């Protein structure tokens, strides 16, 4: 490898400093800006500062990202040189575009004089690309979930509603060929039974899609109605404890909690090999919590359950939609516990039912 003469190396470094698209600040030990390259001058409003290059970077730095907060000034890189700040994310107030995210690197380059260098690269485009990628994935996932649900509803309509209607139509057509009054009455009774079954199927399908009690009466009433239906149709006993005193929440929160509970209980019914499930719904320290527990066969969390329906991935996505935290604990032979925690501010509640 060829070694450049010192003067050529210095000249190249100057050109890099002046022409680089990366933003470069030289700071002293107090966080004061000693110098900055042209890329930095283009984003920082120097007119707001009385003395050029003597202001603290804190005047336009709006925090950095650590492992607990997106933006914070706690344990700042300026005050903790012993920490590893070789790569982190920072937010700066810019002249024209407001507060923007940057990838940052902060290093001491002169121990004697305490001079440090802060190098930044604008992350706006990368983060926008990541967000678009995430939205595309979510859109595909939502479309697939919608199509799966439509297929299920289509099967339900074909296997129950359509067949019952067809049977009723056949029975009605036969009536005109019957001369015996007793036979006619028998056929009418059969048709009534068929239409009653059809009415039950339509009602059950409607409740499964969106229970009216959830909108009208809230979570407690919707849960009790759903659990009663499960016991009647599948023999699954749900021991339900509600400690909300009929309190209501925003529509999105109630819908997500209902769907996650519904999926958790159905999973227990389908896979856990149990006859009983425990469900508890309560609020504690402004956190709405749902617990669904069974003492069934359990499963391996590293190989998420397959099958149709919302699924574990969908449950987590729904929880994130309302800023909730979903924890699933399961072990082979030791049952499953689903714990949903949703922070609820006072403005997200609707008070007590009248």
Segments making up each domain of the chain, as ranges = 6-122, 124-209, 214-354
Q: Are 322 and 253 in contact (CB under 8 A)?
A: yes
Please tell me whether residue 257 adopts helix, strand or coil conformation.
Answer: helix
CATH for 214-354 is 3.30.565.10
DSSP reduced 3-state for 134: helix
Q: For the chain, 354 residues long, give each residue's pLDDT as a single digit of tens.
A: 567 788 888 888 888 888 888 999 998 887 788 888 999 988 887 665 444 445 678 878 888 888 778 888 888 888 776 777 888 999 998 888 889 999 999 988 888 888 989 999 999 999 889 888 888 877 777 777 667 767 777 777 777 777 778 888 888 888 878 888 888 888 888 888 888 878 877 776 766 666 777 888 889 999 998 899 889 888 999 999 999 887 889 988 998 999 899 999 989 998 999 999 999 999 998 999 999 999 999 988 776 544 444 577 778 888 888 889 999 999 899 999 999 999 987 655 664 443
**Class assignment of domain 6-122?**
alpha beta
Contacts of 295 (CB under 8 A, 6+ apart): 274, 276, 335
Structure tokens at 222: 């919707």
Task: Mark 256-293 as b/e (b = at least 16 C-beta within 10 Å).
Answer: bbbebbbbbbbbbbebbebeebbbebebeeeebbbbbb
Question: Residue 110's beta-bridge partner residues?
Answer: 115
> Helices marked H in the chain — which ranges?
6-19, 38-41, 124-156, 163-175, 181-209, 212-216, 219-234, 251-267, 311-321
What are the CB-based long-range contacts (under 8 Å, 24+) for 64-68? 64/88, 64/89, 64/90, 64/91, 64/104, 65/89, 65/90
Positive or negative, the CA dihedral 152, 155, 160, 166 is positive
The answer to whether the CB of 26 falls within 8 A of the CB of 56 is no
- Output the six-digit token pair for 7: 């003067």
Work out the burial of residue 88: count CB atoms within 10 Å of its CB; fewer than 13 is exposed, 13-18 middle, 19 or more buried: middle
Q: What spatial distance separates the first Cα and last Cα of the chain, rounded to whole Å?
A: 83
CA–CA gap between residue 255 and residue 308 (Å, rounded): 19
Short-list 298, 280, 297, CA closest to 289: 280
Q: How many CA atoms lie within 13 Å of 258's alpha carbon, on the beta-carbon side?
A: 28
């Amino acid at each position: 490898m060829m070694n450049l003469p010192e003067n050529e190396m210095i000249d190249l470094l100057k050109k890099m400093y002046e022409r680089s698209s990366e933003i470069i600040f030289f700071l002293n030990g107090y966080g004061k800006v000693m110098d900055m390259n042209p890329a930095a001058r283009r984003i920082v409003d120097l007119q707001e500062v009385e003395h050029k290059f003597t202001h603290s970077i804190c005047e336009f730095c709006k925090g950095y990202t650590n492992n607990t907060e997106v933006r914070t000034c706690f344990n700042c890189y300026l005050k903790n040189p012993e920490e590893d700040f070789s790569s982190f994310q920072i937010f700066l107030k810019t002249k024209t575009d407001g507060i923007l995210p940057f990838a940052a690197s902060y290093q001491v380059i002169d121990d004697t004089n305490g001079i440090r260098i802060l190098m930044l690269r604008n992350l706006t485009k990368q983060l926008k690309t990541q967000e678009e990628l995430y939205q595309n994935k979510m859109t595909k996932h939502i479309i697939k979930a919608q199509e799966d649900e439509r297929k299920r509803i289509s099967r339900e309509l074909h296997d129950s509603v359509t067949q019952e209607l067809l049977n009723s139509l056949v029975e009605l057509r036969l009536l005109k060929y019957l001369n015996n009054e007793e036979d006619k009455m028998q056929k009418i009774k059969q048709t009534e039974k068929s239409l009653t079954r059809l009415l039950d199927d339509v009602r059950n399908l409607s409740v499964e899609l969106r229970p009216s009690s959830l909108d009208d009466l809230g979570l407690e009433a919707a849960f009790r109605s759903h659990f009663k239906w499960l016991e009647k149709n599948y023999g699954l006993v749900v021991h339900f404890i509600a400690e909300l005193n009929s309190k209501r929440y925003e529509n999105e929160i109630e819908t997500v909690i209902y769907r996650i509970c519904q999926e958790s209980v159905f999973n227990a019914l389908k896979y856990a090999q149990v006859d009983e499930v425990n469900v508890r719904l309560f609020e504690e320290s402004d956190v709405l919590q749902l617990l669904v527990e069974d003492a069934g066969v359990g499963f391996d969390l590293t190989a998420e359950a397959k099958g149709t329906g919302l699924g574990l991935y969908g449950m987590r996505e729904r929880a994130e939609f309302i800023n909730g935290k979903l924890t699933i604990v399961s072990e082979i032979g030791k049952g499953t516990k689903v714990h949903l925690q949703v922070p609820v501010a006072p403005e997200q509640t609707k008070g007590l039912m009248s």
